[in-house]
């Protein structure tokens, strides 16, 4: 049974989310503050965290920042702020997805399923494949990425995007195509967040992120992986 940690300080929302996800078959643990959530995340090692941005004590963005220093656990941010910059800030810190309040419990459950699918990467075509390009090595069976022999920690979303691009060198993908191919579903208003994930990915695998050697920008279209 997959374990989900829900960190939310509004009791009514916390109870509704916990009950709904429990009925969906997940083992749910709850926390009402950033400090408690961070402690539980470290102790329980959940399969996914639903994390509110506005929390007492340590806010959700700081919790996300601290967790990303030590873990690649999938994180879905809850935010009451509708501005794009607030949503993308969470993604820049390493969150895998966001959902804006008010939200439907059905939509939240759908987002969780998609992110967990990314984490599993259970596409049979990827299980035995290893790609080597220059100093970059992507091992799909082990979900490992190394650059010049140094292991690089990627979030599930970053790995999924890299997998799609690296398996199709030279092919230009639009942002919407990347969302559909790598993430399995397309969300309204989510298209530009691909840029944030790609930026994070470049910082991790490129020697010079400003002049990338692996993930190239195709102006007016989107991105492609360099031809071998």
Is the Cα dihedral 169, 202, 71, 8 positive or negative?
negative
pLDDT above 50: residue 122: no
What are the CA-CA distances from residue 90 to residues 43, 53, 102 (Å)?
Answer: 23, 9, 18
* Mean pLDDT, all residues of the chain: 85
Q: Comparing 175 with 86, which gets the higher pLDDT?
A: 175
In Å, how far from its chain's centre is CA 77? Answer: 10
Lowest-pLDDT choice from 3-12, 126-135, 164-173: 126-135
* CATH fold of 3-120: Rossmann fold (3.40.50)
Report yes or no: 3 and 47 within 8 Å, Cβ to Cβ. yes
* pLDDT for residue 127 is more than 70: no
Residue 147 half-sphere exposure toward CB, CA atoms < 13 A: 13
Band (pLDDT 50/70/90 cuts) for residue 199 is: very high
pLDDT greater than 70 at residue 163: yes
CATH 3.40.50.2300 in the chain is located at 3-120
Range(s) within the chain of domains with CATH label 1.10.10.10: 124-225
The DSSP 8-state label assigned to residue 55 in this structure reads -
Q: Name the fold adopted by 124-225.
A: Arc Repressor Mutant, subunit A (1.10.10)
What sections of the chain are H helices per DSSP? 11-23, 34-44, 60-68, 84-92, 105-120, 156-166, 175-178, 193-205
Determine contact, residues 62/34, Cβ cutoff 8 Å.
yes
Give the pLDDT of residue 124.
Answer: 41
181, 164 contact by CB (below 8 A)? yes
pLDDT > 70? residue 83: no
């Amino acid at each position: 049974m997959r374990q989900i940690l829900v960190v939310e300080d509004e009791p009514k929302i916390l109870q509704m989310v916990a009950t709904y996800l429990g009925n969906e078959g997940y083992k749910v643990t709850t926390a009402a503050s950033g400090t408690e959530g961070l402690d539980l995340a470290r102790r329980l090692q959940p399969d996914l965290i639903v994390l509110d941005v506005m929390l007492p004590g340590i806010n959700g963005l700081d919790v996300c920042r601290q967790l990303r220093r030590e873990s690649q656990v999938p994180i879905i941010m809850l935010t009451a702020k509708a501005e794009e910059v607030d949503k993308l800030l969470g993604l820049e810190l390493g969150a895998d997805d966001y959902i804006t309040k008010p939200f439907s419990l059905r939509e939240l459950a759908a987002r969780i399923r998609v992110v967990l699918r990314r984490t599993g990467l259970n596409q049979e075509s990827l299980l035995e494949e290893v790609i080597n390009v220059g100093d970059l090595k992507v091992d799909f069976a082990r979900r490992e990425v190394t650059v010049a022999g140094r292991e690089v920690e990627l979030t599930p979303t970053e790995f999924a995007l890299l997998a799609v691009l690296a398996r199709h060198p030279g092919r230009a993908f639009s942002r919407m195509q990347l969302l559909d191919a790598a993430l399995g579903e397309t969300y309204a208003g989510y298209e530009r967040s691909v840029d944030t994930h790609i930026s994070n990915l470049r910082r991790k695998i490129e020697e010079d992120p400003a002049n990338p050697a692996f993930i190239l920008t195709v102006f007016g279209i989107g991105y492609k992986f360099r031809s071998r």
